[in-house]
Structure 1
């Protein structure tokens, strides 16, 4: 290769390398403009970059440029070069009628070089020659090469800038981010947050293996997660551990770990971690408050039992004394007795919640005839209402193992709700049937129903839907009922449509279940 040609190619390559340090497209295209002047033995040059509305804006001009280039004309040579992507060589400049575009006073020849790459048009470089110039095939190829390599440099600069911005963002984020090799487990990237969380300088962290920065006791569990990820690449695992800290005894830390797509092998693991010490403290405080609340409910419920029993005794005594004819006294005594019964039921519900939360809700299992149990409950509740009619359909043969008092509590609660939430009266249908070793009891009412938006919460503690806020209660009955049914090895669910009523289903195993 001719020495001068080799020098020109070397200069172009060096320009491309130098452009990586430039901070803008203007600097890059300016650098290549000056290189173009040198390798083509030109006198001066300037460059256009595509700006707003695809109009060309002057991006660079040589220090010795003798005039101020006017904006390119629409449909002019610059736009022609943009469209064809082929350099335009003006061998002999003609005089223009418009003095703004008449450059014949300053040059004899010029070349316009398009700067484009992969359909992206960045602009044009213009190299000017004071004296007449012809262009060899080699020089024409060199011009095309100059435009192409300038475009590649601008593209790389954009990618490099995006990558640097992304890396800076990662470094600034409060989360700790670590990327490590899935084969050697060596850390390839760690941001400032990771260095701070692990209490290891960032430059030292990049030379270590991921297992070396984790506590000894957590490594086996961590490796098991990595093995699972390699088997199921689409999963994300959560890994919690306590990391040593200079300020505190340890830092509760949570990491999300997943495999990331890369073109190289081996694959890379991404870890995103954060200090969750504050959250852990809050969780412990919440658990402590919940325990204190349950203890309070338990103690308060026990303490309320005695005065409630006393009040009920006095109310019954007043009722007996008022039988002689004092109607007003009898009315008030009856009211006191009724409200005391309600209060006693609420206290029992609170006690049951405390037992459930403490895992102390005991069952006294016996053989139960469900038909007789539901017949007895229905007849008892029928006495409390004249607007509703209880209908029992079907039969369960034999016995069901369970606690009769607790199951009576479940069915009484569901049937009482059926009365309460059917204010206009109507039928309440109780269906009994058996299949595949289970007994199913379905209780249907035709009352207000449960809105869809509330159906997921219906078994939650203290929940009452807004459409039933007019009906008093603590919202504990269904929560307690579900726990009782579950402890019998059974299941409870419902079907409901607002305004059409509700059907509750209870399934119980017909043989003894260890719970």
Structure 2
């Protein structure tokens, strides 16, 4: 670190023509600066001669700067570059004239501050800003710098998404809260809390108001620039086309499911009539009818699941509350499985002793799915445990199997729609992979939780937690 520099010429006026003569110059430096301005360091000597070879061609101006101080009688402040041992140092020089009582310049005094480190930081910052600027100007994605009151900067991609112009931005017509619909402001608040806590927030889907009043769906992520006051940079992706494709797909699934449901219902009715009309002695015919009825029941479940997904997508999955004994309800479901499942022993352990307020049919749908999966994914195993527990405000049902288990990487994926589990040989199990997605959505609507704890090859435990009194 450089601390000080002092130059004085025998207390006599200096002839500026002789300033370039190195023999006339003596430089007074403290010990810390000697290592930069002179070869070697002598702790007993504080006066060293100024050596020109230590200055790069760009900063041979140093002597000229001293000449300028001497000739003008005015101070000079300048950054200079110094090369020593093939290494570059940066110094900020502040040179001041020393005058006698008559006002004549008799010397030059000054300070030299090592700014090498700050210069490096400044260079790194400029490079970072340049990269950021290239990203912003590329308009690949919307980029906006904002706080809760004002949008300070936005690129063309963001302005195009929301339908505003650069002129609107300059006139401060675009405000974050103004373009955020009221139902999304709670999500924004949670994102800001996460931003303050960790410096970044998990990208969220939301909507913006466009200038014409229409809405556009977007995916928004952010990184904090400063905390007090809070200011952030957001990256905004227009997902309108993606949402449109999803809507078309959901509309198709919904329409197809409705169209299929009526003929399948009629087929099931005819199958049941034929079962009743068939002679008890014709066991072969009854066997075929039973198989046909089972397949129709399976097809009906698939259609109902697809209809549920369509309702979930548009927020129209309806639930109806009623009060019932949770223990009796679980017993009924397990007894139905005991009648149809001959590969496993299903045992209930414990009890809650509670009544709950919930949609009986929808919660039954969840528990049926959990037990069906336990049977499906534990081939060759003999038992499944249904564990009932209670807390002050919740009932808990756990479904434990001893089957294939689920790897840690896949435990979150199983609650996604159309995700299918594969066995050890890479073969998939029957089903569309939507049961757990529907179950998790039903539980969410009841303000409960559905969690999994599993080890590959050791089995799984699915834990359903429901509030006793659903709000």
1:498 corresponds in structure 2 to: 456
1:151 corresponds in structure 2 to: 82
Deviation of 1:465 (Å): 2.1
Deviation of 1:479 (Å): 1.4
Distance 1:321 1:84 in 2: 113
1:421 corresponds in structure 2 to: 377
Distance 2:154 2:245 in 1: 39
Deviation of 1:310 (Å): 2.3
Instruction: Tell me, yes or no, if structure 1 residue 215 matches structure 2 residue 192.
Output: no
Deviation of 1:461 (Å): 1.1
Q: Secondary structure at the match of 1:297?
A: helix
Deviation of 1:490 (Å): 2.0
Distance 1:346 1:232 in 2: 45
Structure 2: gaps (5+ residues): 1-10, 25-36, 43-48, 61-79, 92-115, 180-187
Q: Secondary structure at the match of 1:486?
A: helix
Deviation of 1:304 (Å): 0.8
Change (3 A) 1:269 1:409: closer
Given that 1:438 and 1:509 are in contact with CA atoms closer than 8 Å, whether structure 2 keeps it comes out as: yes
Instruction: Tell me, yes or no, if structure 1 residue 334 matches structure 2 residue 295.
Output: no
Distance 2:363 2:396 in 1: 13
Given that 1:368 and 1:399 are in contact with CA atoms closer than 8 Å, whether structure 2 keeps it comes out as: yes
Change (3 A) 1:428 1:175: same
Two-structure CA RMSD over aligned residues (Å): 5.3
Q: Secondary structure at the match of 1:383?
A: helix
Task: Deviation per CA, 1:290-312: give whole Å up to 9, x if none.
Answer: 22222222221111111112222
Given that 2:400 and 2:462 are in contact with CA atoms closer than 8 Å, whether structure 1 keeps it comes out as: yes
Higher helix share: 1
Deviation of 1:113 (Å): 4.6
Distance 1:171 1:493 in 2: 40
Instruction: Tell me, yes or no, if structure 1 residue 431 matches structure 2 residue 362.
Output: no
* 1:285-434 mapped onto 2 (5 Å cutoff): 285-320=241-276, 323=279, 328-434=284-390
Q: Secondary structure at the match of 2:452?
A: strand
2:53 corresponds in structure 1 to: 115
1:31 corresponds in structure 2 to: none
Given that 2:384 and 2:401 are in contact with CA atoms closer than 8 Å, whether structure 1 keeps it comes out as: yes
Structure 1: gaps (5+ residues): 10-35, 42-80, 87-110, 126-148, 201-210, 245-249, 262-266
Distance 1:273 1:437 in 2: 40
Distance 1:324 1:198 in 2: 79
Q: Secondary structure at the match of 1:506?
A: strand
Q: Report how many residues are paired.
A: 362
Task: Deviation per CA, 1:21-56: give whole Å up to 9, x if none.
Answer: xxxxxxxxxxxxxxx6x6669xxxxxxxxxxxxxxx
Q: Secondary structure at the match of 1:499?
A: coil
Change (3 A) 1:8 1:343: farther
Task: Deviation per CA, 1:240-275: give whole Å up to 9, x if none.
Answer: 99999xxxxx9x9999675579xxxxx99998687x
